[in-house]
Structure 1
Amino acid sequence: MRRNIVIALCCTMVFASCDLLDITPKHVVSTEKAFDDVESYRMALNNVYLTLTSSVMNMQTTDYASDDFKNVISGYAASNYYVYNWDYQSQPQPYIWSYQYQLIARENVLIDNYGIVPAENEANQDEIDQIYAQALGLRAWSLFNIVQIYAPHYDGSNGGEEGIPLKVHLELEYLPKSDLEEVYNQIFGDLEKAETLLTESAYSPSSSDKSYEFGLDAVRALRARVALFMGDMETALEASSHFIDTELLDKEDYWMLWEDQFGSANKEILFMTHDLSDTDDAELIDYHEIYENNGVLLSDELVNSFGEDDIRKESSYINANQVPYKYIVPVNERNSQIDRNLHYKHFRLAEQYLIYAEAVLQSDPDEAMRILNVLREKRGAELLTTRPDKLEILKERRRELFCESLRFYDLKRLSSELNLVVERANGSVLTANSPLYVWDVPKEETNSNPYIF
């Protein structure tokens, strides 16, 4: 009991006030007491996963800044309205900056204290190693999300441009922005360490826990995603190749992806967060309700891009009013009542197919077409008969991954190359390579941190 209280204090008192980068956990219980065995270390990791279940940790807010929606009103979550209008400094400000850095602080607790956790035997050390590896992978994911939103797109040639502050230790100090190259080196460094440890460790999560743990699949999936977004097609191809021999669900079984998270035939989920529908937070994180109460509708262009038999457009996923249904199970032949199905799927097998197709496109367009057709066949879409180009792959990414927090990132990385323009009904425009692709750092940060203006 004493140890549980110690960890609870370490992970709540200390993190409650770290909204800004200069705030490092204070009143910290000594690490020698906090992590005096593997159980305590595991509890700290569980605290990170619990934090991820909060709606404010989901990156889907960025979808409002994309072209997937044709309407949003200032309602249930007013910040969504401002993001929709590319107005990033209006109140209430987008919360991604502060909450992602809070998450990094929790991850840094695990990373910085890796060396002090005692191991009684080899099995203990394996568990310590894999906890540390998961923390590294999760931190890489947090850094990637922040740099995608608050810094220019990194294409490998502009590494000297300002990125984001690299808060990778628990020191008490303000930090300036590191350059983009340094940020991406940190991300890849974390992922490489994590993959090595997870590959060499004898640890293996149970089948029921696998999709909830940021394990080897998630680390490789993130490495493929990061490499694609910086244009490192060789690394993107190598990382995504780990997944393309895993079969996607057949069209008839597609429902399992969203309704049967733990079915043995469902191999499509690589990492997701828990279902909190039976908790007091359910109303706050119900993705469907957030959309409905904001009057959000999917764009006509997106909805009309699906073929007639494409399972991804059926009423279980897009309702008649063009409200996205991906995170709610409606009444159907398998369910007698609506189920608030709040498992957020952050990394999926289909994304890896799409990364592989784009990474191999230039060197082997026939292989790119083959892998796209494997995906399209499984989703009930017509097969391609001619070699795809990058725009065709981007369209397929949009159909497959809508409302999963990647569309804005895709527009940002490809807007200049493909001359992509987003126009709102009120006439406001997000042009190719617009400065609006870089969100404003919140005022609370710029007002307190002398290194960020």
Structure 2
Amino acid sequence: MLAFMLALNSCDKYLDNTPLPLSVIPSESLYQSDKLVASVVNGIFVSTTTAGAFSGPTFSDMVMVSGMFTDELRNLVPGNNFDVFYKNNIQPENSPFWNDFYGNIYIANAALEGIQSTSANLQFKEQWLGECYFMRAFLYYHLVNFYGGVPLAVTSDYRVNNRLSRSSEELVFKQIIADLKLAKNLLSDGYRDGSGNSSTKRVRPNKAAATALLARAYLYAGQWQEAENEATEVIQDANYALESLNKVFLAGSKETIWSLANGEPKTNAYFKAFNNGMPAVLTGNQTPGTFNIFGVITDQLYASFEPADERLNSWVRTVKAEASATRPETIYHLPNKYSSNVNDAELTVPLRLAEQYLIRAEARAHSNKNTAWDDLNIVRKRAGLAAIQTGDIMVAIAQERRVELFTESGHRFFDLKRTKQIDQVMQNVSPLKQSNWKSYMALWPIPNVDLFQNPNLTPNPGYGQ
């Protein structure tokens, strides 16, 4: 407690965009004022959004490892730590996210209990509760997509949590949906900062963010009408609009529903991962590795764009390595969604409006509604493409999701699994990656230490203990 209070006195600056570090486990005494509660809730955000899963050029970043794992990114440095993902050879000891996400779920559970039970008069009580429910749902959404059915820990009682068995994917999505419904009812229409005050920055979840994630959860759960309804609610909200391609990821973009605060003034993590000041022409002994660039777009992803697609010009960057005595001329294509080296000019955006159109298109297509084409064509029009109205609508939506949402939040990996296309795709690309794809690899291994500590926790098939 003393360590927490000392940290609190020097961390007021974190309360707008960035939460406090999670070096101290919350206790009941931390829920006696909005400022103290803010520090606990903010800790969930900083630990989740500035840690490995969203940190850009690291070996545990979600975009990097899921892109390497599927057919989005090619590893440029064979033998490095990305290779276990690129070669589809993940082992329990290098399986990411599990521990970090469950650690933050524990903090969210403790915060929910503390906020609900406190006798203090909290001005922003509903906001804090809504944010905790939202973040718990956000974390479970990723866990279930990477690991399948997972233990549902919804209290801070470690004696219970350490003996939980796995729940089915269906039950996990029910919990996600239930949490998001609560968050939607609790969160405000406008955006707030880390102190609970109104803000123009979209770095904390609001009602629309909960609605958008709920639309996604309903889609994944196969509840088409509910997915359509939630997506429609966001689409009809005048606070959100599709931006031109070069403005989508800028701070202040009207397309942003929820973005991740950088935590401190710095360039975006994915600018560092895929640009980092690398020139358009590499000379002499320069390679992408010279600029700490380890992954580039695969030929398969690049070829999937239609020639007239303006996303090729705006969101894909071409770099040429000149021929030398040791290499032929080489062309690389890199994601360029984040292209500014200016601090805080761009923010990572897990929820944006274009996805809501594609969610509604897919939900309507499953319900045999012709209006699915209308939503699809809205996204195509923004990319400079002609409208389409014939053919297999589900194939068209899958294609549009691939070129619209590439290298964002693991969408490609999750889409391939939920549409049951992953085996076909990975069997085609695995020879190019010098990997040996097996169906069980679609679920990642649970860390052995958790299996050892919890006798009721079973491993995913295919991974020995």
**TM surpasses 0.5:** yes
Q: Match of 1:212?
A: 203
Cα deviation for residue 382 of structure 1 reads 2.4
Q: Indicate if the aligned counterparts of 1:288 and 1:325 stay in contact, CA closer than 8 A.
A: yes
Q: Match of 2:251?
A: 261
Matched position secondary structure for 2:384: coil
TM-score of the aligned structures, taking structure 2 as reference length: 0.77
Q: Match of 1:128?
A: 125
For 2:26 and 2:212, the matched residues in 1 are separated by 35
Deviations 1:148-187 (A, max 9, x none): 1111xxxxxxxxxxx1111221112312222333322221
Counterparts of residues 278-427 of structure 1 (less than 5 Å): 278=265, 286-288=272-274, 293=292, 295-314=294-313, 317-320=316-319, 321-329=332-340, 343-404=347-408, 405-416=410-421, 419-421=424-426, 422-424=428-430, 425-427=432-434
Any gaps of 5 or more consecutive residues in structure 2? 10-18, 55-61, 277-287, 320-331, 459-465
Matched position secondary structure for 2:367: coil
For 1:206 and 1:371, the matched residues in 2 are separated by 32
Q: Indicate if the aligned counterparts of 2:268 and 2:343 stay in contact, CA closer than 8 A.
A: no
Report the aligned-residue RMSD.
3.3
Q: Match of 2:187?
A: 198
The partner residue of 1:172 within 158, 167, 170 is 158
Cα deviation for residue 146 of structure 1 reads 0.4
Cα deviation for residue 244 of structure 1 reads 2.5
Cα deviation for residue 243 of structure 1 reads 2.3
Percent identical pairs in the alignment equals 24
Matched position secondary structure for 2:242: coil
- 2:176 matches 1:187: yes
Relative to structure 1, the CA distance from residue 192 to residue 84 in structure 2 (aligned partners, 3 Å threshold; closer, same or farther) is same
Counterparts of residues 411-450 of structure 1 (less than 5 Å): 411-416=416-421, 419-421=424-426, 422-424=428-430, 425-430=432-437, 434-450=439-455
Q: Indicate if the aligned counterparts of 2:265 and 2:344 stay in contact, CA closer than 8 A.
A: no
Relative to structure 1, the CA distance from residue 261 to residue 30 in structure 2 (aligned partners, 3 Å threshold; closer, same or farther) is closer
Q: Match of 1:20?
A: none
Count how many residue pairs are aligned between Structure 1 and Structure 2.
405
For 2:260 and 2:393, the matched residues in 1 are separated by 34
**Alignment-mate amino acid for residue 423 of structure 1:** V
Q: Match of 1:137?
A: 134
Cα deviation for residue 381 of structure 1 reads 1.8
Relative to structure 1, the CA distance from residue 365 to residue 303 in structure 2 (aligned partners, 3 Å threshold; closer, same or farther) is farther
Relative to structure 1, the CA distance from residue 67 to residue 426 in structure 2 (aligned partners, 3 Å threshold; closer, same or farther) is closer
Q: Indicate if the aligned counterparts of 2:265 and 2:343 stay in contact, CA closer than 8 A.
A: no
Matched position secondary structure for 1:42: helix
TM-score of the aligned structures, taking structure 1 as reference length: 0.79
Deviations 1:247-275 (A, max 9, x none): 6435xx321112x312xxx3211111112
Cα deviation for residue 373 of structure 1 reads 0.9
For 2:443 and 2:125, the matched residues in 1 are separated by 38
436-445 or 348-357: bigger deviation = 436-445
127-136 or 385-394: bigger deviation = 385-394
Counterparts of residues 264-279 of structure 1 (less than 5 Å): 266-276=253-263, 278=265
Counterparts of residues 53-132 of structure 1 (less than 5 Å): 53-58=49-54, 59-60=62-63, 61-74=65-78, 78-89=80-91, 93-120=94-121, 124-125=122-123, 127-132=124-129
Matched position secondary structure for 2:351: strand
Relative to structure 1, the CA distance from residue 439 to residue 274 in structure 2 (aligned partners, 3 Å threshold; closer, same or farther) is same
Q: Indicate if the aligned counterparts of 1:328 and 1:340 stay in contact, CA closer than 8 A.
A: no
Relative to structure 1, the CA distance from residue 406 to residue 4 in structure 2 (aligned partners, 3 Å threshold; closer, same or farther) is same
Any gaps of 5 or more consecutive residues in structure 1? 17-24, 152-162, 330-336
**Alignment-mate amino acid for residue 310 of structure 1:** D
Q: Match of 2:232?
A: 241
